[in-house]
Amino acid sequence: TNFTKIEPTCLPHQRPGSNDCGVWVAKWMIECPFNSNYGGITVATATRMKLALYLCHSSNNVLLQSLLSKSAQYWDDMHKQRKVLVDV
């Protein structure tokens, strides 16, 4: 062939063996308008949680109202349990 293989360097990527490519791309898409330093994108537990919350709270989530209602109920239940522990 007459073509030379050229591999770009300094391209950002997820940690080798992490299987986080989808999370990495989602984080890149979210941060893209705010940051052009794509090499600084890292995926950690907090990243996954932030993405999950972002998706859950999206207006496209047809179960959003149910999620919010159940979350509020759970918070109230946990608050009552904590209050009982403090009142002892």
Instruction: Provide the pLDDT for residue 37.
Output: 65
Instruction: Provide the pLDDT for residue 5.
Output: 77
Instruction: Provide the pLDDT for residue 88.
Output: 55
Enclosing H/E stretch for 55: helix 45-56
SS (H, E, C) 29-47: HHHCCCCCCHHHCCCCHHH
pLDDT string in tens for the chain (88-residue length): 688 877 766 666 666 777 777 777 777 777 766 666 666 667 777 878 888 888 888 888 899 999 999 999 999 999 998 888 876 5
Instruction: Provide the pLDDT for residue 50.
Output: 84
The whole-angstrom separation of Cα 44 and Cα 15 is 10
pTM of the model: 0.49
